[in-house]
């Protein structure tokens, strides 16, 4: 791994090399950008640029290495990157951190010291932000402390985690520089009970001022501290984890620590304008917007600890060799009764609703209403008026990617609608759902598994079809949707098959009442013993849905029974844990 440290499948093209040079130059203060013309957008976080440099250092051309060396890149280390900044002649220790800074020259911080404690107010502000972030990341959520650098000479002269404050490139908030495989090159993080193989030491670079940034200076410091400290923590698990996951979760955790700043909204706005692009697309700024996936997990699937479990699960794979991010997420979610496909589908539905209404249940966000007030709305792939005759919607094209979605609005004349979803080929699979958000606040979500009858809202309102793809990359995700509005409603009480089925922990029961009557919904084991009564908060004539959580039941086949005033209907359901 000398000079590089990462494997790569393809050699860099000259264009890609030049792009990397431009990005590296963008991390440096303007006076150091000689010999390089910048025509790319400066990144918010420079960590992914340095990560790419390390991965590809071994295959860069000699000419590009010479230019990068001139920009301060050290290729003699096991992990290519910037050496630690020099000339920062003062330090301040706070919590688990040591902050390096100067009051002289271009890297100087403001000397203002209003509290007369001998430490510049600016450094105190940075220290407070990092200590607050560490309290959230490590103490509260239980992430592992970044590995120590105490075993090598250039370690900031202490065992503390080092943060260097100096002048950075325009628009750059900060970066985290990986340095060495942890614990004398073994790759093990001595702060955890597990045995890591790709843990890496690091240091963080912060600006010496955040003047003229979109956020005020304190807010800029706070979100950067939360973001970059999480990168240092991530590297303490697996320094080679996929960049999209590192960046998306780092933006997510900004929102966990500093909830009122909402700098992350800007990325969600652009992200939901292109829902057809893969969640794990390896490109900036798309991966910043993918923070909404981790927001969904932390609100509805196990809390923030679920994100921690993902990074703990990453230790079972060697990301130096291959991108295991989706598989890792799937394995971690299985331990909390979910899966990647389940979480992705739920998030896609929640992203269409974007509501804080408690009635939305698992499809609500705490800040959903605030997202919409900010101007965030999901882009509709098509909007179709449902006429009296059969109608077919067809999509053929390469734009719809894996782990992505389409939203299709159906403007209705009211009444039931038969929907048939037809995948374009057998090599891929979809999840399709009909989402109805009626004017009275009622929300219903019904999966469309090849064929379903949807209860349409009142005339003039609409239903939105959410079409979600699977994890197969570079596949043909063509599909068609057949709509038949001339469907008679059932004339008798009807119990539909639960969805999903089989299910893991949670499923939805749907039944239809031609007229209102008193009903009960119960689950029995195969011996006929009632094991659960399903609560029905509100029953109305027409379609009704009830969510069932099987948290204390063993895997197996059960019987779902709907008992009305006259009729009793049963269906078998399958629980797999």
Tens of pLDDT, residue by residue over 79-90, are 999 999 999 999
The answer to the question of residue 172 being in a domain is no
| Higher-pLDDT residue of 546, 2 | 546
Q: Tens digits of per-residue pLDDT, 9-20?
A: 445 677 889 889
Task: Looking at the structure, tell me whether residues 561 and 520 fall in a common domain.
Answer: yes
**Share of residues in the chain with pLDDT > 90 (%):** 71
For 37, the token pair is 């013309």
Q: How high is the mean pLDDT of the chain? A: 90
Residue 428: CATH number of its domain: 2.60.120.380
Q: Which of the listed residues 350, 378, 406 is the one where a domain comes to its end? A: 378
**Taking 80 as the threshold, does the pLDDT of residue 473 lie above it?**
yes
Within 10 angstroms of residue 424's Cβ, the number of other Cβ atoms is: 16
Whether 152 is in a domain gets the answer no
Q: Which of 46, 81, 116 is a domain's end point? A: 81
Could you tell me if 434 and 476 lie in one domain?
A: yes
CB 163 within 8 A of CB 174: no
Residue 104 is assigned to a structural domain of this protein: no
Residues 363, 307 share a domain = yes
In a domain, 307, yes or no: yes
Asked if 392 and 463 sit in the same domain, the reply is yes
Residue 228 within a domain = no
Is residue 313 within 8 Å of residue 333, measured between CB atoms? no
pLDDT, one tens digit per residue, over 256-269 is: 999 999 999 999 99
Residue 174 domain flag: no
Q: What is the pLDDT of residues 199-225, one digit of tens each?
A: 999 999 999 999 999 999 999 999 999
Domain assignment present for residue 269? The answer is: yes
Q: Is the pLDDT of residue 153 over 80?
A: yes
State the pLDDT at residue 458: 58
Same domain flag for 373 and 385: no
Do 266 and 373 lie in one domain? The reply is: yes
- Return the CATH number at 533: 2.60.40.1220
% of the chain at pLDDT higher than 70: 93
Same domain for 314 and 417, yes or no, is: no
- Domains in the chain: how many in total? 4
List all residues 6 or more positions away from 253 whose beta carbon is below 8 Å from its beta carbon: 136, 137, 226, 227, 230, 307
Average pLDDT over residues 108-113: 97
- Read off the pLDDT of residues 173-193 as tens digits, 9 standing for 90 and up: 999 999 999 999 999 999 999
In the chain, the largest separation of any two C-alpha atoms, in whole Å, equals: 87
Which of 378, 409, 434 is the C-terminal boundary of a domain? Answer: 378
The pLDDT, as a whole number, for residue 451 is 66
Q: Does 368 lie in the same domain as 272?
A: yes
374 shares its domain with 413: no
User: In a 10 Å sphere around its CB, with 0-12 CB exposed, 13-18 middle and 19+ buried, how is residue 521 labelled?
Assistant: buried
**Reported confidence tier of residue 113, pLDDT bands at 50, 70, 90:** very high
Residues 509 and 445 in one domain: no
CB distance 186 to 221 below 8 Å: no
- Do residues 281 and 339 both lie within one domain? yes
User: What's the whole-number mean pLDDT along residues 129-141?
Assistant: 98
Domain range spanning residue 418? 380-484
Domain-located, residue 191: no
Residues ≥6 apart with Cβ < 8 Å to 267: 251, 285, 288, 289, 291
Looking at the structure, tell me whether residues 339 and 316 fall in a common domain. Answer: yes
Structure tokens belonging to residue 39: 């025509």
Residues near 548 by Cβ (< 8 Å), separated by ≥ 6? Answer: 498, 506, 507, 508, 509, 523, 532, 534
């Amino acid at each position: 791994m000398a000079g590089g440290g990462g494997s790569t499948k393809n050699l860099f093209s000259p264009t890609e090399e030049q792009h990397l040079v431009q990005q590296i130059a963008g991390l440096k203060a303007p006076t150091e950008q000689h010999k390089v013309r910048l025509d790319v957008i400066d990144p918010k976080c420079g960590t992914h640029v340095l990560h790419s440099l390390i991965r590809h250092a071994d295959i860069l051309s000699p000419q590009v290495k010479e230019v990068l060396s001139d920009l301060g890149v050290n290729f003699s280390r096991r992990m290519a990157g910037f050496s630690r900044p020099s000339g920062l002649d003062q330090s301040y220790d706070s919590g688990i951190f040591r902050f390096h800074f100067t009051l002289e020259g271009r890297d100087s911080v403001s000397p203002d010291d209003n509290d007369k404690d001998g430490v510049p107010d600016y450094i105190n502000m940075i220290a407070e932000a990092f200590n607050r972030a560490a309290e959230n990341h490590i103490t509260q959520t239980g992430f592992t402390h970044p590995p120590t650098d105490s075993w090598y000479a250039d370690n900031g002269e202490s065992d503390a985690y080092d943060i260097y404050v100096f002048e950075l490139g325009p628009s750059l908030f900060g970066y985290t520089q990986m340095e060495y495989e942890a614990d004398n090159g073994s790759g093990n993080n001595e702060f955890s009970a597990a045995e890591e193989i790709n843990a890496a030491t690091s240091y963080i670079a912060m600006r010496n001022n955040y003047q003229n940034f979109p956020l005020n200076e304190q807010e800029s410091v706070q979100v950067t501290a939360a973001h970059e400290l999480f990168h240092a923590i991530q590297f303490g698990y697996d320094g080679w984890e996929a960049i999209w996951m590192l960046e998306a979760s780092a933006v997510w955790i900004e929102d966990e620590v500093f909830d009122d700043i909402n700098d992350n909204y800007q990325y969600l706005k652009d992200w939901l304008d292109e829902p057809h692009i893969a969640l794990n697309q390896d490109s900036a700024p798309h991966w910043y917007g993918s923070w909404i996936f981790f927001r969904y997990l932390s609100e509805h699937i196990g809390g923030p600890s679920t994100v921690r479990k993902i990074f703990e699960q990453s230790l079972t794979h060697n990301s130096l060799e291959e991108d295991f991010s989706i598989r890792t997420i799937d394995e971690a979610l299985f331990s909390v009764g979910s899966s990647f496909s389940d979480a992705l589908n739920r998030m896609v539905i929640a992203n269409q609703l974007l509501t804080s209404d408690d009635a939305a249940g698992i499809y609500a966000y705490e800040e959903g209403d605030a997202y919409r007030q900010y101007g965030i709305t999901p882009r509709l792939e098509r909007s179709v008026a449902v006429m009296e005759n059969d109608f077919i919607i067809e999509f053929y094209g390469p734009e719809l990617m894996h782990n992505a979605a389409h939203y299709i609005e159906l403007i209705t004349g009211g009444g039931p609608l038969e929907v048939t979803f037809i995948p374009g080929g057998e090599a891929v699979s979809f999840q399709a759902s009909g989402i109805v958000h009626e004017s009275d606040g009622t929300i219903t979500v019904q999966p469309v598994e090849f064929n379903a009858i949807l209860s349409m809202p009142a005339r003039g309102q609409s239903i939105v079809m959410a079409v979600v793809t699977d994890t197969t990359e570079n596949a043909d995700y063509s599909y068609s949707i057949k709509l038949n509005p001339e469907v008679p409603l059932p004339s008798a009480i009807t119990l539909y098959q639960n969805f999903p089925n089989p299910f893991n922990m949670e499923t939805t029961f749907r039944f239809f009442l031609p007229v209102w009557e008193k009903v009960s919904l119960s689950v029995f084991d195969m011996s006929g013993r009632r094991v659960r009564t399903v609560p029905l908060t509100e029953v109305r004539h027409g379609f009704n849905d009830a969510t069932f959580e099987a948290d204390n039941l063993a895997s197996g086949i059960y019987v779902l029974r709907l008992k009305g005033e006259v009729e009793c209907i049963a269906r078998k359901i399958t629980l797999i844990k």
